Structure 1
């Protein structure tokens, strides 16, 4: 009986040793897998960082003076409606209208937000890389064309940090201008103007009483954003591309 118990205890001890050997091997393998995952993540992070370094230009690779001899300066001095419309979506007179309707004033009187300076500091207009027209041209190029930031760097001869800071600044002051000019206001038709538009619609579609215009959607293609929230907001699952979607209302007269 004693020998049988000893034999069973030996078997149990052997099985326990085998169990812990397997457990140690599993933990060791898990540790090695975790190390491999960590090293792979570090390698991917380094690769991503190196790729980001290739996506911008440094000062020595750009034209020396953003205010002289740049593609933007040449386009601006040409005063070509065709060139302005193709690159910025508006003609020369509209560009000047926006500039004189408050954009230039805000550019010259508002300090550009910087982490190393308080917003109460006076704006250093003479030390800026662009004048008011250049700032408006930069933001209109950005809004109208689906281009990489590196293209803006080449056109305006600006380094990446300056491009990003100017884009944020110009978006804010352009929005302020559009909110205060009469042509930037969105309003519904009233009175005689409404009746004129409704008569045009009824003449073609007799059953559409009370209508004054039409609405249509517009998908503007945009570059995929590295920000996950923006990327999700602009992705169109039906078209499998990234867009900013707008709704545009037209009066029956075409306005």
Structure 2
């Protein structure tokens, strides 16, 4: 089940339980005459306490992080911000599969413009509306980094929440939206296209590169690493 759907179902159940508590309490209160207001108030207080205890029990079983358990501001002093500011090729390749130059090329090829011009899809946001960049938790590099972390790693989303200092629903929205933009950008980038070699000489030159890493692939002109997706 999608994490956002799970949260909505849980919230819906909470509201139903609260309404049931108050309906029962109100029905009981109506049974009292005006001289027994104190007893009616006690029933309402007991209903409120029952609701609080139920919420407490459910919170212990919800395995996700909230804002108080994360770094205060996603735009400053997070592990992601430190990684991005380092500009280190090895760090970028290890975590996202691309070096700094390629990461920047994707941003400039349209990812940054799409992030700035397209509202993040949500049920309470008009698809044709203007994006509110001032309330975004990350700039364009952030969702691209998040999407690439997600594709290049087997880590759970709770780890991504800690790295990017984002709550679960924001992580889910940004991954979905980031992947959608990334796919559109890569389809338009000539360097991202898979093309057949134009000559025997070009094929041999490409195969020489492959054989250096994979000696048994003597008739290949390209190779690709598998995605480290969780089983």
Check if 1:111 corresponds to 2:139: no
Q: TM-score, normalised by structure 1?
A: 0.59
Q: 1:52 to 1:179 in 2, by over 3 A?
A: farther
Change (3 A) 1:167 1:51: farther
Length-normalised TM-score, structure 2: 0.65
How big is the shift at 1:215? 6.7
Compared with structure 1, are the counterparts of its residues 218 and 156 closer, same or farther at alpha carbon in structure 2 (3 Å cutoff)?
closer
Instruction: State the SS of the aligned residue for 1:53.
Output: coil
1:181 to 189, 193, 198: 189
| Higher CA-based Rg | 1
Residue-pair matches, total? 164
SS at match of 2:170: helix
Aligned-partner Cα distance in 1 for 2:90–2:70: 26
Q: Does the alignment pair 1:71 with 2:71?
A: no
Q: Please state how far the C-alpha of 1:216 moved relative to its aligned partner.
A: 6.1
2:137 corresponds, among 125, 129, 135, to 129
In structure 1, the gaps of 5 or more residues are 1-48, 202-210, 224-241, 243-255
Residue 218 and residue 65 in structure 1: after superposition, are their counterparts in 2 closer, same or farther (change >3 A)? closer
User: What corresponds to 2:203 in structure 1?
Assistant: 197
Q: Equivalents in 2 of 1:90, 1:137: separation in Å?
A: 10
- The change in CA–CA distance for 1:108 and 1:85 in structure 2 (over 3 A counts) is same
Instruction: Look up the match of 1:170.
Output: 178
> Where in structure 2 are the equivalents of 1:7-156 lying within 5 Å?
53-54=62-63, 56-156=64-164
Tell me, in whole angstroms, the C-alpha distance in 2 between the residues paired with 1:183 and 1:216: 15
5+ residue gaps, structure 2: 1-57, 208-217
- Tell me the CA shift for residue 136 of structure 1: 0.9
Higher strand share: 1
- Aligned-pair CA distance for 1:222: 1.9
